[in-house]
Chains A and B, each alone.
Chain A
Amino acid sequence: MTGAPKISVRGLRKSFGSKVVLDGLDLDVGIGESVVVIGGSGTGKSVMVKCIIGLMEPDAGSIKIDGQEVTGLKRGERERLMRKFGMLFQGAALFDSLRVWQNVAFGLIQGHGIGRDEAKATAIKTLGAVGLDPEVAELWPAELSGGMQKRVGLARAIAAKPEIIVFDEPTTGLDPIMGDVINDLIIKCVRDLGATAVSITHDMASAHKIADRIAMIYKGKIIWQGSSKTIDQSGNPYVDQFIHGRGEGPIKMEVRAL
């Protein structure tokens, strides 16, 4: 990492009722860097990205984007800031009342005020970049397979050329081949845009592939971070247990009877 970080998170805290989800989390992401945050279910991954992107307001702590504090922003400033972001949701979250191209062009038309025809042309070009034919543009999201929906979601996230892209479990629910296709597309899109990427996943193959740096979250804190090449020699028992998928180890799954 060189220079000032694109995203700088310090002491982030968030609780729901008595349940502490984020417990003083620190994370820096450099400009143009791809950071993957790994961790088990319920460790606070999703809450962390929701706080960074502004869908959730943290209880305490600071989040700086390009050096600007973004917690507690007013709605108008928040909407302006959102233009720097693109997000690929876990379930793609396509608008099912709109056609595929309208989904992809949505941010261009609504957020950037680009004309309908021009936005449609951009949408079709972006769909091409994720390997989808122009015919797909006229379909409805419900007519697509899971992998195609993810690709459309990716096209929608990158259509407005964001500076920061957030990927929420990009390969979850896909077969291994389609998962790898999505990984390749993510790498290509992030590189082409020169964007900064933050991903969360528990798929180690995906993390290895798309990450410059991997950080592991456990109980609301980052407990280890390092380059994706060094994670196999991390020497951290928590990381070792997670990347090898062992049931036994320092991480105890909290299984309780309902």
Chain B
Amino acid sequence: MAFVARVGRVVLAFLSATGRLALFTLNAVSHCFRPPIYVNLILRQFVDIGYYSLPVVGLTAIFIGMVLALQLHTGFNRITGGESAIAQVVVLGMTRELGPVIAGLMVAGRIGAAIAAEVGTMRVTDQIDALSTLSTNPYKYLVVPRLLAGVVALPALVLVADCIGVFGGFLVATYKFGFNPAAYLQNTADFLRTDDVVSGLIKSAVFGFLISLMGCYTGYHSKGGAQGVGAATTYAVVSASVLILMFDYILSALLFSS
């Protein structure tokens, strides 16, 4: 019986956590459409999430693009005539898949953790309660700006990451493997379609939402001082990363099913 009870407790805990998250999400999203909207807070978050993540996202993107070209070259060498497909596979891989996922994971580590720590500290030092006593809705003041900024900033970052990633592949292909630069770029441009980029941007908007949501949710419900905030930070990064990869599959299946 003890085993059954334990299974039951785990299932109940999972269901109540899912329910709490769902309610939090609904509440937060509904506040996105009701005034007052704090425009200056949204802009500040946008700069935090978008602009200050540029270096880390740019660096990862260039190395991912470079290693992609390197691996494809060794792989395609085994297929006769496969080599010429490097440009196409690099641009497709970056825009559809690697740009959004890599940027998403890097931003989850950088911003998800920062949001959870900041909101969590505000929770355990009563600052969130203080907001309420000053007639300010914490959802509107803390959660909505971060959600909106995440949804807008991540696609912008991914657009940059796409370009840098393709450039990384270009560098390796032309300098290391002696491809003709003009032909490489021509191949890339001819092959790329608008919906490749757009689908990647749709994905990244969802990822941005997930990162901000998990940061705010875990921070908002953190308790128990420094340790609680630490746990919230870890949970925010881990859950956002897992959700990003999960939704990456779901969205890919939906967007590319036809």
Contacts and interface: CB of A to CB of B under 8 A. Distances in A.
Interface stretch (B102-110, B124-132, B191-199): B124-132
Interface stretch (B63-71, B134-142, B202-210, B250-258): B134-142
Contacts of B131: 95
Contact of B130 (A50, A80, A89): A89
Given A87-B130, A89-B130, A95-B130, A111 B125 contact: no
Contacts, number: 54
B126 to A, nearest CB: 4
Contact of A107 (B126, B129, B135, B141): B135
A79 B126 CA distance: 18
B83 to A, nearest CB: 54
Contact of B135 (A91, A95, A111): A111
B126 A91 contact: yes
A79 B139 CA distance: 13
Nearest to B44: A97
B133 interface: yes
Interface of B: 122, 125-127, 129-137, 141
A95 B129 CA distance: 11
Interface of A: 50, 53-55, 75, 79-80, 82-83, 85-87, 89-91, 93-96, 106-107, 110-112, 156-157, 160
A87 B133 contact: yes
Contacts of B141: 110
B122 to A, nearest CB: 8
Q: Is the interface of A mostly helix, strand, loop or mixed?
A: mixed
A93 B127 CA distance: 5
B129 A106 contact: no
A86 B134 CA distance: 7
Contacts of B136: 106-107, 110-111
Contact of A89 (B122, B129, B137): B129
A116 to B, nearest CB: 11
Most chain A CB inside 10 Å of its own CB: which residue of B125, B126, B130: B130
Contact of A106 (B122, B126, B134): B134
A209 B127 CA distance: 28
B223 to A, nearest CB: 12
Contacts of B126: 89-91, 93
Nearest to A153: B130
A47 to B, nearest CB: 13
Contact of A79 (B122, B125, B129, B137): B137
A112 B136 CA distance: 10
A208 to B, nearest CB: 26
Nearest to A112: B135
Contacts of A80: 135
Nearest to B139: A75
Contact of B133 (A82, A90, A91): A82
